[in-house]
C-alpha cells in the first residue's frame, strides 16, 4: 500500500489543518506508551499534526478527545473521493491476491515430490 496514496511519509510534507485523513493501519499508539490499540483500517482521523520526532498525532473523528500516534506517514491518506476510489481498488486487488494464494496452495498440494505419496497413494521411490 505504500506509495499508493498521497501520504505524509515525505519529510517535507506536513498535514493540512482542517483536513480529514483516512488511517489505513489496524493499530495506533498513545504518545509515550509502548502498548498498541486496535483500530479499524479506514478510520477517519482529524487534527493530524507532525511531531518533532517525525511521528504524527491525531484524534479519531468519531472517538472523543483521545490523542493517538503513528510513525507511519504513508498510512495517512487525505479523505478525498480519489483516494477512496484507490482504497477500494486496493481492497479488491487484495482479495484477488488472497484468492490466488489459496489456489496456488491447492495446486502445490497436487504436485508429487520425491518421498511423498502420489495421487494413487503409492510412495515415490528412487530406483
100: pLDDT confidence band, cut at 50, 70 and 90?
very high
How would residue 20 be classed by pLDDT, with cut points 50, 70 and 90? Answer: very high
Q: Would residue 56 count as lying in a domain?
A: yes
The answer to whether residue 48 is domain-embedded is yes
State residue 58's pLDDT score: 95
How many domains does the structure of the chain reveal? 1
Residue-level pLDDT at 122? 53
Q: What is the DSSP letter of 73?
A: G
**Domain housing 55:** 21-79
The answer to the question of residue 125 being in a domain is: no
Q: Is the pLDDT of residue 2 over 80?
A: no
Determine the average pLDDT of the residues in 81-110: 91
Q: Which of 42, 122, 120, 51 is nearest to 84 (CA)?
A: 42
pLDDT band for 32, please (50, 70, 90 cuts). confident
Give the CA distances from residue 90 to residues 20, 22, 63, 65, 94, in Å, rounded to whole numbers and listed in that order. 20, 14, 26, 31, 6
Q: Is residue 64 part of a domain?
A: yes
Q: Against a cut of 0.75, is the pTM above it?
A: no
| Residue 6 phi, psi (nearest 5) | -85, 65
Closest by Cα among 98, 51, 86 to 71: 51
Whether 103 is covered by a domain: the verdict is no
Per-residue confidence at 125, pLDDT binned at 50, 70, 90? very low
Structural domain contains residue 9: no
Amino acid at each position: 500500500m505504500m506509495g499508493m496514496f498521497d501520504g505524509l511519509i515525505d519529510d517535507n510534507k506536513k498535514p493540512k489543518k482542517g483536513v480529514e485523513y483516512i488511517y489505513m493501519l489496524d493499530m495506533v499508539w498513545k504518545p509515550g506508551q509502548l502498548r498498541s490499540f486496535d483500530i479499524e483500517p479506514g478510520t477517519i482521523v482529524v487534527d493530524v499534526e507532525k511531531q518533532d520526532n517525525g511521528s504524527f498525532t491525531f484524534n479519531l473523528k468519531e472517538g472523543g478527545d483521545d490523542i493517538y500516534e503513528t510513525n507511519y506517514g504513508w498510512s495517512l491518506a487525505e479523505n478525498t473521493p480519489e483516494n477512496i476510489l484507490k482504497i477500494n481498488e486496493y481492497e479488491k486487488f487484495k482479495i484477488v491476491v488472497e484468492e490466488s494464494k489459496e489456489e496456488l496452495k491447492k495446486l502445490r498440494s497436487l504436485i508429487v515430490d520425491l518421498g511423498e505419496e502420489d495421487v494413487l497413494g503409492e510412495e515415490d521411490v528412487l530406483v
